[in-house]
């Protein structure tokens, strides 16, 4: 006889262990944002713990066989809201970078929303939806957990390092219009110094955050390319799904009584 336990499949989905971890992530992220402009150490600590919990909730779901549609949505929504909130904080601290951050934020949220819609049209999880595009980078991203992890972690580390770099002074964050240019100059100086010495030189004045920023930057760039490919690929999937539905409707009109179709201007609404 199978006995239902808390650490196993049961009817109270909202109380699944991975979902409880998800609630903790939400609380930690909100706490981080509340302290973002006054207490950088608390902000970074809370955000990093929440980011680590992103890996733990997935492991818990698989270990305790507590995968659920709610958990999948909670996980992705928390991911996107966390990154979006961090980018908003950076936009407040770096006004000159705000337009770029707005574009990247729109790309991130838009691409993932399209990806989720495409997955739903196939009846799959957004990470399992098949790709119809021939792009090898996108296929590698979804087939290799290591590569996916590298891109996602690099993107988060890049933003976190950029945030930490604004707190060099005890007086508070550096709200300087030229900070982006200064940061680029420091990065170039660090790269060339690395080529000459082959070792990290503390006397350059390059902080740990700046070093982490430079190391994570390639993975961040890859993540932005992948976001764009995600959106384009999802558009192709949605277009193919719409065409298939139209074909099925013409083949068997009885499945669509009265010509019912959820569309507006010939665009299907999801």
Active-site annotation, residues = 79
DSSP strands (E only) in the chain: 263-264, 267-268
- The C-alpha atoms of residue 216 and residue 156 are separated, in whole angstroms, by 9
- The C-alpha atoms of residue 249 and residue 241 are separated, in whole angstroms, by 12
Q: DSSP secondary structure string, 64-75? A: TT---HHHHHHH
- The C-alpha atoms of residue 209 and residue 230 are separated, in whole angstroms, by 29
- The C-alpha atoms of residue 231 and residue 112 are separated, in whole angstroms, by 7
- The C-alpha atoms of residue 194 and residue 57 are separated, in whole angstroms, by 38
**How long, in residues, is the chain?**
270
Decide if 151 contacts 226 (C-beta within 8 A).
yes
- The C-alpha atoms of residue 189 and residue 204 are separated, in whole angstroms, by 9
Exposed e or buried b for every residue in 67-91, given b needs 16+ CB within 10 A?
A: eeeebbebbbebbbbbbebbbbbbb
């Amino acid at each position: 006889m199978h006995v239902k336990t808390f650490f196993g499949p049961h009817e109270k989905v909202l109380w699944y262990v991975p979902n409880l971890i998800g609630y903790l992530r939400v609380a930690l992220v909100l706490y981080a944002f509340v302290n973002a402009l006054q207490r950088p150490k608390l902000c970074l600590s809370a955000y990093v713990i929440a980011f680590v919990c992103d890996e733990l909730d997935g492991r818990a779901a698989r270990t305790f066989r507590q995968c659920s549609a709610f958990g999948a949505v909670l996980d992705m929504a928390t991911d996107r809201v966390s990154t979006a909130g961090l980018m908003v904080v950076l936009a407040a601290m770096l006004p000159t970078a705000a337009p770029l951050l707005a574009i990247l934020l729109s790309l991130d949220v838009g691409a993932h929303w399209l990806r989720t819609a495409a997955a739903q049209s196939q009846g799959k999880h957004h990470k399992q939806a098949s790709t119809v595009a021939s792009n090898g980078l996108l296929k590698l991203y979804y087939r290799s957990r290591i590569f996916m992890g590298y891109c996602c972690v690099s993107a988060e580390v890049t933003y976190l390092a950029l945030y930490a770099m604004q707190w060099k002074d005890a007086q508070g964050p550096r709200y300087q219009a030229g900070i982006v240019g200064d940061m680029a100059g420091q990065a170039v100086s660090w790269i060339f110094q690395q080529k000459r010495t082959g070792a990290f030189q503390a006397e350059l004045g390059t902080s740990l955050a700046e070093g982490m920023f430079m190391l994570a930057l390639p993975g961040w760039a890859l993540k932005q390319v992948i976001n764009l490919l995600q959106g384009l690929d999802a558009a192709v999937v949605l277009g193919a799904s719409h065409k298939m539905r139209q074909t099925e409707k013409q083949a068997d009109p009885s499945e669509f009584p009265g010509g019912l179709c959820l569309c507006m201007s010939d665009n299907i609404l999801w």
